[in-house]
Amino acid sequence: MLLTEPKFESPLQGSRQQLAKVIDIMGLGQSMYNRLAHPDRIVTVHSPVRMDDGSIRVFAGYRVQHNNALGPYKGGLRFHHHAEMDEFTALAMLMTWKCALVGLPFGGAKGGITVDPRELSVGELERLTRRFTSDLIPIIDPKKDIPAPDVNTGPREMAWIMDTFSVNKGYAVPGIVTGKPICVGGSLGRSEATGRGVTIILEETLRHFGKKISGTKVAIQGFGNVGGVTANLLYQMGAKVVAVSDWRGGIANPEGLNIADVMLHYKEHATLGNYQHAEQVSNADLLIMPCDVLIPAALESVITPENADRIKAEIIIEAANAPTTPAGEAILEKRGITVVPDILANAGGVVVSYFEWVQGMSQLFWSEEEVNDRLRRILTRSFAQVAQKVEREQLSFRMAAYSVGVGAVAEATRVRGLYP
């Protein structure tokens, strides 16, 4: 190992540990580790916002640009009260490997604001998003750095970002952000893309082990844009979705939930609480309940040494970014549980972001079938590439995916050289 193992695993320590491991496996050396373990640039802003009561609050916001060896920095913006710089740095690194793994001409970035958006009115949230965008203008651009949705952000926020940037330029700039509403240059299929990608990767994983989706028992932590879409698609494909949850807690039924009915309930009440036709389950218990496949689709660091020895699933598909800590994963690996890593499992979102960017830059729009077909082709090809490495080189799925992603970035870094 290049690094001594840290006692406490923050997401950044975890990401660096995983990078060190793959650098060792591939024999890329300490100098390459030094270049890839650190982001190119971290920008911190303090965005003042007039609140509804007339007072002014100042919010801390960040954009971490990790690496652009393969193309413009790319990655989401999250609004979360626990989000801070090290976490954004870890997530930006993951974006670099993810884009490289699936062959996109993008680097990696991540950013956002330390805020609980539920505490703000829509007007306050809009003013905050627009001011934050203005503060980032020196470093974002369709050819430099292209933000996208992440936790607690979606098409509405992306439209505000596109508008703020465009008003400053004096013309519409659709390529500045992806995940926009369709009417301002968004792509068909983008809002479902991450969840659809998760189901494609699950299908491929099951096929790899000679299994089928139909009848497979799946527990999903999260019911947002990723967890909700994944649950719905898997339900339509005949899987038994035995549990889903939101940040307050979850619902479970060992025989499978009626997800169509759960979706209706969620649309009406904006919560899974008080849903009558299922048992209540906590987010912690959901992770260790009996199922074949576990899909963490919420936040990072939820699978740790605290619960890894009690997980019942045989397969974990990481729909969230960094849901498993390296120490948690070491236990899963010993127990023979397959973990399909985030950079492969949730890459569908950024793949269709790439399609959206290409469509926006070329002013030529594709049908939803075309988007979904191209998405499937890219993800099945990437899965096959990773699975082949798993077989041939006896690697875990994570290390196989990392060796493709990190390998591509390292090669580009090497041939581009160092300037000045």
Residues that bind ligand GLU (CB under 6 A): 74-76, 148, 150, 178, 321, 346, 349-350, 353
Name the 3-class secondary structure at 11: helix
Shortest Å, Cβ 98 to ligand GLU = 6
Q: Which residue has the tokens 């849903």?
A: 275
Candidates 74, 98, 110, 180; catalytic one: 110
Three-class SS of 306-360:
CCHHHCCCCEEECCCCCCECHHHHHHHHHCCCEEECHHHHCCHHHHHHHHHHHHH
The residue among 223, 65, 67 whose CA lies nearest residue 147 is 65
Shortest Å, Cβ 77 to ligand GLU = 8
Q: Which two tokens stand for residue 174?
A: 């659709």
Q: Which residue has the tokens 């290049």?
A: 2
Shortest Å, Cβ 191 to ligand GLU = 11
99 vs 291 by CB, closer to ligand GLU: 99
**Catalytic annotation on 312?**
no
28 vs 319 by CB, closer to ligand GLU: 319
107 vs 235 by CB, closer to ligand GLU: 107
Return d(Cα 148, Cα 70) in angstroms, integer.
18
Shortest Å, Cβ 109 to ligand GLU = 8
Residue 250's φ and ψ, nearest 5 degrees, are -130, 180
113 vs 278 by CB, closer to ligand GLU: 113
The whole-angstrom distance between residue 217's C-alpha and the CA centroid of its chain comes to 23
Q: Which two tokens stand for residue 255?
A: 């025989």
The residue among 420, 321, 339, 295 whose CA lies nearest residue 75 is 321
Q: Write the DSSP symbol of residue 181.
A: -
47 vs 225 by CB, closer to ligand GLU: 225
Shortest Å, Cβ 365 to ligand GLU = 18
45 C-beta neighbours (distance < 10 Å), count: 19
Q: Which residue has the tokens 């740095």?
A: 89
Q: Which residues are part of the catalytic machinery?
A: 110
